[in-house]
Amino acid sequence: MSAEPLLTVEKVTKTYTGKEAEVTALKDIDVSVSKGEFVSVVGPSGCGKTTLLEIMAGLREPTSGSVKVRGQEIRGPHPSIGIVFQEESTFPWRTVLENVEFGLQMRGVEKKERRERARELISLVGLSEFEGAYPHQLSGGMRQRVAIARTLVTRPEIVVMDEPFGALDEQTRLILGLELLNIVERTEATVVLVTHSIQEAALLSDKIIVLSARPGQIKTVIHSTLPRPKDEVTLTTPEFASITQRLWSLLEGRDLSWRSSRKRPFRSK
Ligand SMILES: Nc1ncnc2c1ncn2[C@@H]1O[C@H](COP(=O)(O)OP(=O)(O)OP(=O)(O)O)[C@@H](O)[C@H]1O
């Protein structure tokens, strides 16, 4: 990992202006991401995580401040940045192979090379047997792997992901997270991940950015001591427990997974 920042967010503030009120979603955010780093962003619901990710990806303009890739300010979607969106983002009418080829097709890559590169990524995410299948024939976890392959096939230096495993159960999301870590190590991609899962952030990240409640400000940045490569055993280490505990206390035990459809027991006073 090099020390040179690949992506920097400098003094970013974002205020949404509505008909009736203004909402300051983010205030004075500074983030620095080095090449090869796996960075997670956590914080209570509505604190501006998605807004920050969209600004980092050049999909949304900050009200003030800037985002730079290798010191160059970006002012819109950037070829070095790939995006994996929340939950389902595969095209249901395309096969796995066609889904993964899509980004290359958009870039005008010729068919033979497109096929080769798509097959390479499909193999990396373990779906070679399913390249002719349609998304509805796959499990949720498999569809997310397709979405990840579709982004990685274009070889972005930076991959930003907004809760890509949010629809999956905790165990599947952790396993897929480990697979993702393995894949990005091989493709040498840098990752910024928004997640509601404390365990996912603690397990996968080199650095965890903890945002405060709205307006989102950086509460703290945790630098992980967990060595790579990581696997299921990492979940049982005291270091993992310590990061998880720290995150819980920083987030004051807030329920981060409110988007989950699971019903929670109602507690009376
Ligand atoms: N397009 C928009 N127009 C106006 N307000 C917005 C817009 N998008 C987001 N907001 C507001 O900005 C704040 C931050 O939203 P954002 O979706 O970035 O938070 P989040 O941390 O990703 O939330 P969650 O964890 O609940 O997904 C919220 O109060 C939200 O209502």
Q: CB of 18 closer than 6 A to ligand 1?
A: yes
Q: Is residue 267 part of a domain?
A: no
Query: pLDDT by residue (tens digit) across 5-34?
Result: 999 999 999 999 988 889 999 999 999 999
Q: CB of 25 closer than 6 A to ligand 1?
A: yes
Question: For residues 65 and 83, which has the higher predicted lDDT (pLDDT)?
Answer: 65
Atom nearest to 194 CA in ligand 1: 22
Q: Is residue 261 part of a domain?
A: no
Query: pLDDT by residue (tens digit) across 20-75?
Result: 889 999 999 999 999 999 999 999 999 999 999 999 999 999 999 999 999 999 99
Q: Is residue 269 part of a domain?
A: no
Q: CB of 32 closer than 6 A to ligand 1?
A: no
C-alpha 266 to ligand 1 mean position (Å) = 26
C-alpha 61 to ligand 1 mean position (Å) = 14
Which ipTM was obtained for this model?
Answer: 0.98
Query: pLDDT by residue (tens digit) across 94-123?
Result: 999 999 999 899 889 999 999 999 999 999
SS (H, E, C) the chain: CCCCEEEEEEEEEEEEECCCCEEEEEEEEEEEEECCCEEEEECCCCCCHHHHHHHHCCCCCCCEEEEEECCEECCCCCCCEEEECCCCCCCCCCCHHHHHHHHHHHCCCCHHHHHHHHHHHHHHCCCHHHCCCCHHHCCHHHHHHHHHHHHHCCCCCEEEEECCCCCCCHHHHHHHHHHHHHHHHHHCCEEEEECCCHHHHHHHCCEEEEECCCCECEEEEEECCCCCCCCHHHHHCHHHHHHHHHHHHHCCCCCCCCCCCCCCCCCCC
C-alpha 23 to ligand 1 mean position (Å) = 9
Q: How many domains does the chain have?
A: 2
Q: Verify that 67 and 171 share a domain, yes or no.
A: yes
Q: Verify that 7 and 140 share a domain, yes or no.
A: no
Nearest CA to ligand 1 atom 16: 48
pLDDT of 248 > 90? The answer is: yes
Q: What integer pLDDT is reported at residue 170 of this predicted model? A: 87
Q: Closest Cα partner for 159 from 129, 121, 119, 197?
A: 121
- Provide mean pLDDT across the span 170-193: 89
28 φ, ψ (degrees, to nearest 5): 50, 55
The model's pTM = 0.89
Q: What integer pLDDT is reported at residue 183 of this predicted model? A: 86
C-alpha 46 to ligand 1 mean position (Å) = 5
Name, in order, each residue with C-beta under 8 angstroms of 230's C-beta and a sequence gap of 6 or more. Answer: 178, 181, 203, 204
C-alpha 115 to ligand 1 mean position (Å) = 38
Q: Is residue 264 part of a domain?
A: no
Atom nearest to 196 CA in ligand 1: 25
Q: What integer pLDDT is reported at residue 2 of this predicted model? A: 52
Q: CB of 50 closer than 6 A to ligand 1?
A: yes
Q: Verify that 61 and 106 share a domain, yes or no.
A: no
Q: Closest Cα partner for 121 from 51, 57, 39, 183?
A: 183
Of 123-127, 168-172, 190-194, 203-207, minimum mean pLDDT range: 168-172
Q: Verify that 69 and 172 share a domain, yes or no.
A: yes
pLDDT of 259 > 90? The answer is: no
Q: What integer pLDDT is reported at residue 176 of this predicted model? A: 85
Q: Verify that 23 and 67 share a domain, yes or no.
A: yes
Q: Verify that 18 and 37 share a domain, yes or no.
A: yes
Q: Verify that 162 and 151 share a domain, yes or no.
A: no
Say which CATH number the domain at 13 has: 3.40.50.300
Nearest CA to ligand 1 atom 6: 16
Name, in order, each residue with C-beta under 8 angstroms of 120's C-beta and a sequence gap of 6 or more. Answer: 153
Q: CB of 48 closer than 6 A to ligand 1?
A: yes
Q: CB of 108 closer than 6 A to ligand 1?
A: no
Q: Verify that 120 and 20 share a domain, yes or no.
A: no
Q: CB of 45 closer than 6 A to ligand 1?
A: yes
Query: Strands 218-223, 207-211: parallel, antiparallel or unpaired by DSSP?
Result: antiparallel
Q: Is residue 263 part of a domain?
A: no
Which residue, of 121, 155, 189, is where some domain finishes? 155
Q: Which amino acid is at 230?
A: K
Q: Which domain holds residue 149?
A: 87-155
- Provide mean pLDDT across the span 181-193: 90
Q: What integer pLDDT is reported at residue 3 of this predicted model? A: 60
Query: pLDDT by residue (tens digit) across 127-165?
Result: 999 999 999 999 988 998 899 899 989 989 999 999 888
Which pair of structure tokens corresponds to residue 33?
């991401």
Q: CB of 214 closer than 6 A to ligand 1?
A: yes
Q: Verify that 75 and 183 share a domain, yes or no.
A: yes
pLDDT band at 88; cut points 50, 70, 90: low
Q: Is residue 240 part of a domain?
A: yes
pLDDT band at 262; cut points 50, 70, 90: very low
- Residue 171: CB atoms within 10 A of its CB come to 10
Q: What integer pLDDT is reported at residue 90 of this predicted model? A: 87
Q: Verify that 138 and 215 share a domain, yes or no.
A: no
Atom nearest to 26 CA in ligand 1: 14
